Amino acid sequence: MQLLFLIFALLAGTLLPTQAGINAQLAKQLGHPLLAATVSFSLGTVALLLFTVMSHLSLPALGRLIQIPWYLWLGGLLGVIYSVLQVYEVQ
C-alpha cells in the first residue's frame, strides 16, 4: 500500500508542472491566461461531477454545508489563483 501512495505522490508531482505548461499553451491559443484558467476549471468541474456521479455519492445536507467554517471553502479559490498565476508566470 505504501508503494501505491509513493507512486501517486510521484505522479502528482509530475502533473503540476505539466499542467502549468498545458495551461500556458492554452493561454497562448486563447489569447489570455484568464480564459485558459476558465476553460481548465470548467473541464475539471465537469470531470469531477462525472466522477462523483459514477461513484454514487450522495450530496451532504444543506444544514451540514452551512456548519462548515468559512475558511474551508477557500481551497477552490486558492486553486484558481494558483492556476492563473502559473500561467502568468510562464508567459
How far is the CA of 3 from the CAs of 6, 13, 62, in angstroms?
A: 5, 15, 38
Domain borders along the chain are 2-90
Cell readout for 6 is 509513493
Reply yes or no on whether the pLDDT at 18 is more than 60: yes
Query: What pLDDT, in 10s, does the model give residues 24-55?
Result: 899 999 999 889 989 999 999 999 999 999 99
- Going by pLDDT thresholds of 50, 70 and 90, the confidence category of residue 90 is low
Q: Which residues touch 88 (CB under 8 Å, ≥6 apart)?
A: 33
